[in-house]
Structures are given as structure tokens and as C-alpha cells.
Amino acid sequence: MSCASNIHVAVYQVLDQMMRTHVPPPGVKAAIHSIIDDLRVGRAPREIEQAEDISLQLHHRETALLAGDCSQAADARQSLRAIAGSWLHHRITH
């Protein structure tokens, strides 16, 4: 499997872990930051932007959950779903 394929698989795994649990599991933040680093090495600007957006939404979701703001947590989760769909669509069409 190529490096690019490994990175895409890693992103799918991170998104899956975040979508299956109420609270993002341990290691998810480290995983997405590692993916961002790998994408920077590979100079993949579109993918970097999306991975950074995943990281940002993960932060929003965690912050909302800690504050007890279910509405904001749900908004972040919905954003993650949209990112996942976009990531999958781009990967299939390219």
C-alpha cells in the first residue's frame, strides 16, 4: 500500500473512532496531528486543510462536551460527518 493510501486509511480510522464514541477516545488527537505532519511532508495542501479542520472540530467537540454544551458538541459532530463525506468523495473521485 502506498504512503498516500496509508494516510487516507488513517484519516478514515480517526473519523470512525470519533463518530462511534460520545467522547473522543485517547490517542485520537495525537493520531490526527501525526497525519497532518505526514501530509505536510507529502505536500498535499487540500488534504492538510481537511485534516486540520478535523483537528479543529475535534477540539470544538471536546470543549463543548467539557462545558456541557450538547448543542455545540452536536454541531461539531455534524461538521465531522460532513468532512468525512467530503474526504471519502474526494478519495473515490481522484
pLDDT tens for the chain, residues 1 to 94: 345 678 888 898 898 888 888 888 889 999 999 999 999 998 878 889 999 999 999 999 999 999 999 999 999 999 999 988 888 776 666 5
Q: Which domain range does residue 84 map to?
A: 3-93
∠ CA 82-76-78, rounded to 5°? 35
pTM of the model: 0.83
In the block, cell 484519516 appears at: 11
- HSE (side-chain half, CA atoms, 13 Å) at 43: 0
Domains held by the chain: number = 1
- What is the pLDDT, as a whole number, of residue 59? 93
User: Coil, helix or strand for 34?
Assistant: helix
Looking at residue 58, its pLDDT comes to: 93
* Contact between residue 55 and residue 47 where contact means Cβ atoms under 8 Å apart: no
